[in-house]
Each structure stands twice: as structure tokens, then as C-alpha cells.
Structure 1
Amino acid sequence: MTDSTVLEVDDLSVTYRSGSGEVPAVRGVSFGIAAGEKLGLAGESGCGKSTMALAMLRLLPKSARMTGRILFDGDDVLDMTWGRLRAVRWAGASIVFQGAMHSLNAVQRIGTQIAEPMYLHEKVTESEAQRRVGELLEQVGLPTRRADAFPHELSGGQRQRVMIAMALACNPSLIIADEPTTALDVMIQAQILTLIESLVSEHGIALLMISHDLSVLADTCDRLAIMYAGRIVEEGPSQRVFTSPNHPYSAALSTAFPTIGDPASRRNPGGLAGDPPDPADLPTGCAFHPRCPSRLEHCSSVVPELWPAGDDTRAACVLTLSDQGRSLASTTKETV
């Protein structure tokens, strides 16, 4: 962990307890984010992305068991007392949830909701809070007078801007954006993404952005991490991962978008058949092998690690290894 590292996740696993046994949602995930860096986390629904987001600040239900380390400014979130954790939430790290209408209080004015974390963490006066609320609304492109509005009086894009203003209220060093543009039209989505990117750069905030849309993350983030069946299967510079992926799953995600102006790609869209595996019934070996168009014979028994794949990229796929390395992997990394 360097002096500039805001968040470091080390071998994080999250398991849910259910009536039929334990269900692994996140399995041995590790990554780090430095101040001012933007990391995108992509994958299909059910791959563990939102569980990751909630785990960062211990917002998971009691049925979840977490192991590993989540270091925020050097302190392990999993070992924090409740008092210390409450102090970190909003003031140190904040979350922009998907679906702003469900995240905002329908019977409180938005100015009151934006000011609430200021009263809790900074002990500001009412006049100071109102001034700060006005500044935050202007930063996210809303007029100050909208502080008196209720959530239902705002459009979807405006409500999402309010959520971003709330996330910035106490000057956090980390923002976690979980599907921040879900259900927004394309034009508003572009505005929100541009806003997040500019605010993060302006304030030097570390950003973890989570989405199923690989193209959105590639345009917004510095680095990408591709998640499948609770594990990161590829990680590297965003444009490198998007345009020249090493893992077959990353390649399938990147080809799922038609090329504008290319009728052939519109008539023959890419993509991937099937669905991610049930976390309670994961396949042996590489979890992606039942859907993989490039699978090898031993992919059903080898559990791949994140091996170097060139250009500061790592991929959990035996295809990134030499023939000798593949042979070694098949004999040394077997499913337990």
C-alpha cells in the first residue's frame, strides 16, 4: 500500500448464509485505488459487483460473512468499531446508489437530505449547511432554489445529481458509484458520467464505479476490472481491456455493443449465450469454462489465477500462458 492509496482490498471473500448452506458471492478479490484514480468494475448481473460495493463500508446484511481485508486509508474496515465505521461513512467514503428515487427520502426536501451528513459529521450551523447545500447543487448543475424541492418534483437525471451532491457533502476521499446511470436516457447518462468524471478529477477523489456496461466504464475510468462468478478475471488499463481483451469473457462483453455506422455489427450483434453460474452451484475449474468459446481440455479442472498478460494487464485465463505454463497450471492449480 502506497501513501497515495485510498482503498486497498486484499483477498476479500463474501459468503451469504442461507437455508441450503453457504453461498459464495465474492471469492478472493484484490485491488487498490489511489487518490484521483478511477477504477471501473464490470460484469453481468449476479457476478458479485453490488455485493462488493456494499462490502466496502460493511453495509451487507447479517447473513453475510466477510473475510480478507478492506483497507481504507490504512485502517481495516472489517475490524473497525461501529463508532469508527460511522465516522468513515459519508465523511471518508460515500456511495451513489442505483435508483435515486428509491434512495432518497420521499417526504423530505432534497436540501435537508444533502445537509444531513454535514450535521452528523461536521457539526455545522444551519446557515453554513444551507450555504454548502447551495454550492453542491451548483456543482452538480442544479439551481440553488431546487433545495426546497421534494424528490418526486425532480426528473431522474436531477435526482441522480442530488445523490452525487449528497456523496460530496462531507468531502470524502472515496466515492463508490453503483450503477449511477441505471434507467437514465442516453443523453442524461452522458451528462451524469461527465459530471462524475470532472468532479472526481477536480477534487482528487478515488472512484470505484460499478456497471454492467463496459463501454461506459472504458470511457470514464482509468482502469477496468472484469468480474465473473465472484472473481476478477481481468484487470488493466481501461482502453486496453476494452479494445484488446485477454480473457474470453472480457472479449464477449466488449463485442456486445454494435459499432455505430456499421450495419453488419447491427445485424449480427456479439454477445454470449447463457447466464453466469449460480453462486451456490459453481462449476469446477474455471467458472467461465461452460460458456467459453475458447476453452481447453483442462479448463474444467484448472482454477486460473490473475497472470500477467502484457501492457500492465492481468487475466485469469490459461490462454495467457505459454504452452509450458499451461501444462504447469493444469498440474499445480487443481480444483479442491
Structure 2
Amino acid sequence: MSLLEVRDLRVTYGSGAGAVPAVRGVDLTVGAGRKLGIAGESGCGKSTLALALLRLLPASARLSGRVLLDGEDVLAMKWGRLRAVRWAGASIVFQGAMHSLNAVHRIGDQIAEPLLVHGMAAPATARRRAGELLEQVGLPAARATAYPHELSGGQRQRVMIAMALACDPRLIVADEPTTALDVMVQAQILRLIERLVAEQDISLVMISHDLAVLADTCDRLAVMYAGRVVEEGPARQVYDAAAHPYGRALSAAFPRIGDPASRRAPRGLPGDPPDPASPPPGCPFHPRCPVALETCATAVPPLAEVAPGHRSACVLTTGTRA
């Protein structure tokens, strides 16, 4: 059964120079208790997509399509219903915990706040629950009296996870939750997220630029480029045998343990993603694609199945050549 269904989601930002499409017709599904990773370079629309799932975008953003959470369309919810769904139905772990936590409030009070706002506990019970949540994420309950600046980066990220779990949501959206952390702390946080998701049967949408991290953490993986999903399938399959040239480039950019050739000369990808305000015609990846054909400059290939449960948007893999 699907907990989250995203159908033809489009997000456009208004600007002085005109409309800027950031997400262009994304379709995704996340089953109950399942983990979906979303990968791509900076500027591909990952964080915009994550924020759109709970309508956390600025007023300049225009959204269309459907975001069905337990069958209810988040984009059509009235403010009161949306407020009730946030934290309790779905919550988000933002990247950069120091910027997300309030510097002048103790962390226990910040973890307890969603419980109080949603009327799920009295103040004394909420404070006690905050201590329990801190212990659940590997911190002493006594740290509830600390301020954010008194914690390390990894500890602050654990606080963000505790806050996301406070109201027992069924879905957690984690937007680059380990980007600012060193590799040892990153591994600890990833294992913590995996354990909590499994123990509490929570669905997870995890955003990252690191394909290897997502392949190790998630069941399925979607690769975004220029606001579109260009590949989607089983996580290990997409990582080890990507069908789309962009997916292969992302995978090859990281050295692999046990592969001396990739360690000594990891392959990158020249150039940058296109400007969302003026994407190239045809397949948006074709100016950087090492195997592009003439038709790629005019045709926009749809996502099509290349193997059971594995889809790609490339004329070379789907047989949609003009």
C-alpha cells in the first residue's frame, strides 16, 4: 500500500526575471515502511521537491499536481488541516541543524513544542517525552537543558531527528541530513535513521547528492536532473547498473572500495546543470551527455521501463528514438 503518491508535481518560482520552473512533472510513490532516496547535483530540484511535499515553500512558489499522503491531497488541504498533518502525519529533518534550531531556546523545549502545539501532551509530559526522545537518538536525557551551541554538529542533527519523531509521524522527509558532518558521524546518523525507521515502521524520503549513501540506506532510488526524474528503480540496481547516462555519471563520481582504478581516477562530469529559467531544448542532459544523439537536442524522452520496476528517460535505453 502506498503511503505517499506524487503525481505530476510542478513547482515554479516567481522572480523579477519571470517564472522559474524548479520541479517539472515529477511522479513518485513511497510504500508504507519503505525508503526512497532522491539524488542529483545541486540545482536539480531535490530540496524544492522535499519542501513541496509539506507545502513549506515560500509564497512566490506556485504548485500544481497532487501530493497524496494516505490518500489525502496535501496541495488541496486547508490551512488548519495542513497544520495538523505537519509533524503528526509527516515531518522533515532539514539540512544544517544549527540554522533550523532556535539558538535562544533549550533543545528539550524545542523537541516538546510540536507535542504542545498539536495538543498531544501536557507540558510536564511533553518535557518528559523530550528526554525519552533524546535517549532514543543516543543522547542523554539531561542534554534537554542544553542550548544548540553547546552541542556538536552530530548531536544537533540527532536533536533534529528526535524532533521529527516527536509526534509519531508515518513519513519522515530527510533533506541532506548528513551533508555538514564528518564521515564517521555521518555513518552514525545514517545507521540511526535506518534503525528508527525499521523499529517504528516509518516511511522515509531521503534527499542527497551522494548516490552511494542512498544506495546503502534506501530501498528505491530516484535520480533528478533539471527538475525531472530521469531514472527510478531499486537502489542497488540504479547505483551499480544505472540505465541513464546521468545516473552512471553520478555513480562513477565516487571511488569504490576494492576498485583501485576508481580510487585513483574517479570520473566526474564536466559542466553544470542547466539554469532552471532557461533549460536547453530536448533532453536537458544532452549538452553534457557523452553519448548524446542528434534527436536528444529535440526530443524529451519519457520515463519508460527498462527492467521490472526500473525506469529511465533516455532514448538509448527506452527505444524512443525519433
Does TM, normalized by the shorter one, top 0.5? Answer: yes
Contact 2:312 2:318 in 1 (8 A): no
Can you list the C-alpha shifts for 1:28-64, whole angstroms capped at 9, x where unaligned? 0001111110000000000000000110111111111
**C-alpha separation in 2, matches of 1:89 and 1:258:** 38
Distance of 2:113 and 2:69 partners within structure 1: 23
C-alpha contact 1:228 1:276 (8 A) present in aligned 2: yes
Quote the residue 1:197 is aligned against: 194
1:103 has 2:100 as partner: yes
- TM-superposed CA distance for 1:86, in Å, is 0.4
Could you tell me how far apart the structure 2 residues matched to 1:261 and 1:95 are? 35
Pick the aligned partner of 1:236 from 216, 233, 238. Answer: 233
Report the counterpart of residue 296 of structure 2 in structure 1.
299
1:38 maps onto 2:38 in alignment: no
Could you tell me which of 242, 247, 253 is aligned with 2:244? 247
In the alignment, is residue 267 of structure 1 matched against residue 264 of structure 2?
yes
Question: Matched residue of 2:139: which SS?
Answer: coil
* Equivalent residue for 2:160, pick from 163, 183, 190: 163
Partner of 1:315: 312
Alignment match, 1:334: none
Alignment of 1:1-336 (within 5 A): 4-322=1-319, 325-326=320-321, 330=322
Confirm or deny: 8 A CA contact 1:122 1:170 kept in the other structure.
Answer: no
Deviation (angstroms), 1:247:
0.1
Asked if structure 1 preserves the Cα contact closer than 8 Å seen for 2:171 and 2:203, the reply is yes
Partner of 2:173: helix, strand, or coil?
strand
Structure 2 Cα separation of the partners of residues 232 and 128 of structure 1: 43
1:225-259 per-position Cα deviation (integer Å, ceiling 9, x unaligned): 00000000000000000000000000000000112
* AA partner of residue 230 (structure 1): G
- Which residue of the partner structure matches residue 333 of structure 1? none
Q: Is the 8 A contact 1:43 1:226 kept in 2?
A: yes
Provide the C-alpha distance between the structure 1 equivalents of 2:29 and 2:155, rounded to a whole number of angstroms.
31
- TM-score, structure 1 normalization: 0.94
Please report the RMSD computed on the Cα atoms of aligned residues, expressed in angstroms.
1.0
Q: Secondary structure at the match of 2:4?
A: strand
* Equivalent residue pairs, number: 322
Aligned-partner Cα distance in 1 for 2:189–2:230? 28
Q: Secondary structure at the match of 1:30?
A: strand
Identity level (%):
70
Matches of 2:260 and 2:232 in 1, distance apart? 31
Task: Render the CA deviation track for 1:278-325: whole Å, top value 9, x for unaligned.
Answer: 011100100000000011110111111001111420000011134xx4
Separation in 2, partners of 1:245, 1:260: 18
4+ long deviations beyond 6 Å: none
State the alpha-carbon separation in 1 of the partners of residues 264 and 220 from structure 2.
31
Conserved? CA contact 1:115–1:129, under 8 Å:
yes
Moved more, 126-135 or 100-109: 126-135
Cα distance, 1:124 vs structure 2 = 1.2
CA distance in 2, matches of 1:261, 1:307: 33
Equivalent-residue separation in structure 2 for 1:301 and 1:263 (angstroms): 39
SS across alignment from 2:277: helix
Question: Which secondary structure state, in structure 1, belongs to the residue aligned with residue 134 of structure 2?
Answer: helix
SS of structure 2 residue aligned to 1:198: helix
How far did 1:261 drift?
A: 4.7
How far 1:117 moved relative to its partner?
A: 0.3
Partners of 1:31 and 1:316 in 2: CA distance = 14
Q: Is the 8 A contact 1:258 1:266 kept in 2?
A: yes
Cα displacement (A) at 1:264: 2.9
Structure 1 CA distance, aligned partners of 2:318 and 2:40?
A: 23
**Deviation at residue 5 of structure 1 after TM alignment:** 1.5
Unmatched 5+ residue regions in structure 1?
331-336
Letter in 2 for 1:13: R
